[in-house]
């Protein structure tokens, strides 16, 4: 090979290597929403640089592709051992049996952190090992696909899939900057690799017009699909017992609920019915520790749900009456490791998969299963003290933990001063909490999803609470956080619960129980205070939502409006964020028979899914047709190489080998003899590409007007007509030429070049 060709090849390899590094880095950016940036980010970038540098140096010495990949893999092993596993390695870099035994434990620990942790996670050693190691392996694969196989579009599919994982795990707004950077890196790789195939034909010739237009077309369609079409498609739902689980809305258990509540699309997440006088709130988890500006989910001991020590009986004072209720929940579109359950649950049945219970807060969670598609029953034993009984009890008790009374050191004095002022006229803990609840639900406060963002305190920390008490506009996390902190300044143990409001009553009823529909916008937070002899008592300070907690005097009859069971927050007309209907007392079908269910099928989601599937199936064919038309346009301007490339792509679409070792004349002869290509048109194309390749002037030196473009079109049509219908349809709708390039290792070994 001439020295200038070698230098050009090295320059192309260096450019592609830099492009791969950019693409890998761009695919990591969305991960920073899920895992807080720390040393793992630096480690991932350094490993990617070292691996790519090793591959580039190996290629300069013209080593075989397998040798390049082995060298990169060796660099990956040395780096991982030196950074993460050197204590178990020989000479810090050589794996030992102890290393092999330690690795599964670290990976399992990382998996548990991902399954049980709340975003954004703090990266531990195990999680950092998983991320950095995965980034290194991704770099090796992408480097091989782009620089060895010369298939940048296939690498783009993998990079896009990796970048989508954080968004699937923690749904949120599209990271525009990360998306644009990744798209730019992918288009850069595609254009650089394409130019490396064009330049040997004629480095001084004008660039082909088809390739940039095709790349820009792909980029434009990708942007439209990612930003416009995908959010419009409904999320699929998987039922219990299926082998796959879809990704419906999740539960953000860190009280960063603002984005969830303000999301533009609202979907039904659950159907609930209960034997209780009013549909219950459904809790997912509790939060007691305020770390910085975020309430963290409680990390408590869990036991298998089926064990005797899982939930157990409710421990209340002997004179406190307890009522038993049954609640049935059908999850329609919610993917979460936390199971929504009524409180206080004593038994849960009907679940699919392995689930655990936390006896301390009576929540149910899983490390391996999901709520999606579950249909289960929850039995609750609700304490129903009289007003005099709860007034006689003090907040606190033997179940009190230090974390439920701790106050942040930087708490604003305004919080404690207001709590003392509001409760100054009360004589017991319960009346003090009711006074706080009434103050928040009074005319001075307004429920708002917009004001917090505009005022800059969209959070739940002490600074956000102080600002909220000044502005007096906010949503549930502000009301719940302020109430919990003010209760702690009064010496009462408190915590926050994340879960769902009861939902809106539907026209359906089963076994004389009204069916309630719970939507994604009803994700909610409320405070609880611990009382000795009763347990955790919920309150509802959020203005305009739910029903405030109250207890009735001893003479009230069960089932009255002021029934003591109202101590568990109940739904109201505003339980659907001020948009739901009044709950019906009881629902029945049109014939007046309770227990039947009326179901209305909305065909729009199914039609949308079908249209989406058809659109997805048509996208490859549209890309291929766009590329073919651009090549024919170039051919009509005299570009023989574009016309010949159109023939090669047509052959690849039909599964015909197009190896790099085969000359145009030999390939053309094989296409005529074996695959139905017409002789005259093929002879014209062979003559044109041979003149363009070897004659002075390059690919535009032999201009024949529209002849070569028409010849390429005729050859493609004849080759398609020569195969059976299934193969023809596969070539049109699943074109291999979009990812397999002529002359690449995936374009065929050349076995078909020999005559029979």
Per-residue pLDDT tens for 170-179?
655 566 777 7
Is the residue at 223 inside a domain?
no
Q: Is 487:496 a contact under the CB 8 Å cutoff?
A: no
> In sequence order, which residues have a C-beta less than 8 Å from that of residue 220 and are 6 or more positions away?
none
What pLDDT score was predicted for residue 641? Answer: 86
Assess whether 357 and 333 both reside in one domain.
yes
Assess whether 518 and 630 both reside in one domain.
no
Peptide bond between residue 208 and the one before it cis (omega within 30 degrees of 0): no
What pLDDT score was predicted for residue 539? Answer: 94
Is the residue at 82 inside a domain?
yes
Query: What is the domain count for the chain?
Result: 3
Mark the ranges of the chain whose per-residue pLDDT is less than 50. 1, 198-248, 257-260, 262-264, 453-457, 557-601, 699, 701, 750-756
Assess whether 595 and 622 both reside in one domain.
no
| Ranges of H-type helices in 63-209 | 65-84, 97-116, 125-143, 152-169, 176-198
Is the residue at 626 inside a domain?
yes
**Sheet with 513-519, side-by-side order of all strands:** 345-349, 375-384, 321-331, 268-274, 513-519, 504-510
Distance CA(177)–CA(170), nearest Å, equals 18
- For 388-433, the pLDDT digits (tens) are 999 999 998 777 777 788 888 778 889 999 999 999 989 999 999 9
Is the residue at 617 inside a domain?
yes
Peptide bond between residue 344 and the one before it cis (omega within 30 degrees of 0): yes
The helix-helix angle for 640-653 and 664-675 (nearest 10°) equals 40
Assess whether 564 and 701 both reside in one domain.
no
The helix-helix angle for 476-489 and 413-422 (nearest 10°) equals 80
Residues spanned by the domain of 135 = 3-200
Assess whether 30 and 52 both reside in one domain.
yes
Is the residue at 209 inside a domain?
no
Assess whether 177 and 298 both reside in one domain.
no
Count the alpha carbons within 13 Å of 424 in the hemisphere toward its beta carbon.
6
Is the residue at 218 inside a domain?
no
Q: Is 249:234 a contact under the CB 8 Å cutoff?
A: no
Is the residue at 213 inside a domain?
no
Assess whether 271 and 367 both reside in one domain.
yes
Q: Which of 543, 566, 600 is the last residue of a domain?
A: 600
What are the C-alpha distances in Å from 602 to residues 268, 580, 599, 607, 608?
A: 13, 20, 10, 10, 11
CA angle 342, 345, 350 (to 5 degrees): 85
CB atoms < 10 A from the CB of 595, how many? 11
Is the residue at 241 inside a domain?
no
Q: Which of 200, 226, 242 is the last residue of a domain?
A: 200
What pLDDT score was predicted for residue 572? Answer: 36
Assess whether 172 and 267 both reside in one domain.
no
> In sequence order, which residues have a C-beta less than 8 Å from that of residue 346 and are 6 or more positions away?
311, 312, 313, 314, 379, 380, 381
Q: Which of 551, 572, 600 is the last residue of a domain?
A: 600
What pLDDT score was predicted for residue 168? Answer: 63
Q: Which helix (H) or strand (E) holds 556?
A: none
What pLDDT score was predicted for residue 45? Answer: 92
Assess whether 543 and 659 both reside in one domain.
no
Assess whether 565 and 637 both reside in one domain.
no
């Amino acid at each position: 090979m001439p020295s200038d060709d070698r230098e050009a090849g090295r320059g192309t390899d260096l450019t592609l290597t830099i492009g791969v590094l950019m693409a890998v880095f761009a695919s990591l950016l969305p991960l920073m929403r899920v895992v807080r940036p720390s040393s793992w980010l630096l480690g991932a970038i350094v490993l990617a640089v070292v691996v790519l540098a090793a591959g580039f140096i190996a290629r300069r010495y013209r080593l075989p592709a397998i040798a390049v990949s082995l060298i990169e893999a060796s660099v990956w092993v040395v780096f991982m051992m030196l950074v993460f596993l050197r204590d178990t390695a020989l000479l810090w870099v050589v794996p030992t049996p102890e290393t092999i035994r330690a690795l599964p434990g670290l990976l399992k620990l990382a998996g548990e952190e991902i399954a049980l942790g709340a975003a954004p996670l703090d990266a531990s050693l195990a999680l950092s090992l998983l991320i950095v190691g995965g980034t290194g392996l991704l770099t090796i694969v992408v480097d091989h696909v782009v620089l060895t196989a010369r298939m940048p579009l296939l690498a783009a599919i993998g990079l896009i899939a990796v970048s989508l994982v954080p968004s699937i795990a923690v749904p949120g707004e599209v990271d525009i900057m990360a998306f644009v950077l990744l798209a730019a890196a992918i288009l850069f790789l595609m254009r650089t690799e394409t130019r490396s195939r064009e330049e040997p034909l004629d480095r001084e010739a004008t660039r082909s017009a088809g390739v940039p237009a095709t790349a820009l077309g792909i980029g434009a369609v990708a942007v439209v699909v990612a930003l416009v079409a995908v959010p419009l498609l409904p999320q699929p739902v998987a039922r219990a017992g299926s082998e796959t689980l879809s990704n419906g809305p999740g539960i953000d258990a860190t009280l960063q609920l603002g984005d969830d509540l303000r999301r533009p699309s609202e979907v039904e997440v659950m159907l609930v019915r209960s034997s209780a006088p009013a549909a219950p709130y459904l809790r997912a988890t509790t939060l007691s520790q305020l770390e910085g500006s975020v309430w963290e989910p409680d990390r408590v001991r869990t036991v298998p749900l089926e064990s005797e020590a899982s939930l157990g009986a409710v421990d209340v004072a002997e004179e406190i009456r307890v009522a038993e209720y049954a609640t049935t929940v059908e999850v329609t579109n919610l993917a979460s490791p936390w199971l929504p359950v009524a409180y206080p649950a004593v038994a849960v049945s009907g679940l699919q998969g392995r689930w655990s219970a936390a006896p301390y807060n009576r929540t149910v969670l899983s490390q391996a299963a999901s709520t999606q598609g579950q249909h289960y029953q929850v039995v609750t034993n609700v304490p129903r003290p009289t007003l005099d009984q709860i007034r006689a009890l003090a907040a606190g008790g033997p179940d009190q933990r230090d974390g439920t009374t701790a106050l942040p050191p930087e708490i604003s004095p305004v919080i404690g001063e207001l709590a003392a002022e509001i409760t100054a006229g009360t004589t017991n803990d319960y009346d003090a909490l009711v006074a706080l609840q009434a103050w928040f639900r009074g005319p001075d406060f307004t429920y708002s999803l917009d004001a917090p963002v505009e005022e800059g305190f969209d959070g739940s920390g002490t600074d956000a609470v102080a600002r909220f008490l000044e502005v007096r506009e906010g949503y549930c996390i502000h009301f719940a956080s302020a109430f919990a902190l003010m209760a702690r300044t009064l010496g009462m143990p408190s915590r926050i619960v994340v879960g769902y409001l009861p939902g809106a009553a539907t026209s359906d009823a089963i076994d004389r129980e009204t069916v309630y529909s719970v939507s994604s916008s009803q994700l909610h937070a409320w405070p609880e205070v611990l009382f000795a002899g009763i347990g955790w008592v919920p309150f509802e300070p959020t203005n305009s939502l739910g029903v405030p907690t109250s207890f009735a005097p001893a003479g009230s009859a069960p089932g009255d409006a002021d029934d003591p069971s109202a101590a568990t927050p109940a739904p109201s007309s505003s339980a659907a964020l001020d948009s739901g209907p009044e709950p019906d007392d009881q629902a029945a079908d049109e014939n007046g028979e309770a227990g039947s269910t009326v179901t209305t099928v909305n065909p729009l989601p199914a039609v949308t899914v079908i249209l989406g599937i058809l659109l997805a199936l048509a996208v490859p064919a549209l890309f291929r047709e766009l590329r073919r038309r651009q090549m024919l346009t170039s051919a009509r301007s005299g570009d023989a190489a574009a016309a010949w490339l159109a023939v090669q792509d047509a052959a690849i679409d039909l599964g015909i080998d197009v190896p790099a070792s085969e000359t145009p004349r030999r390939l053309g002869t094989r296409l005529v003899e074996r695959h139905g290509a017409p002789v005259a048109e093929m002879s014209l194309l062979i003559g044109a590409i041979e003149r363009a390749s070897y004659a002075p002037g390059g690919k535009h030196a032999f201009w024949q007007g529209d002849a070569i473009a028409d010849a390429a079109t005729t050859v493609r049509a004849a080759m398609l007509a020569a195969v059976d219908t299934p193969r023809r349809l596969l070539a049109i709708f699943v074109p291999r030429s979009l990812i397999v390039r002529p002359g690449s290792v995936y374009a065929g070994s050349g076995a078909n070049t020999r005559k029979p």
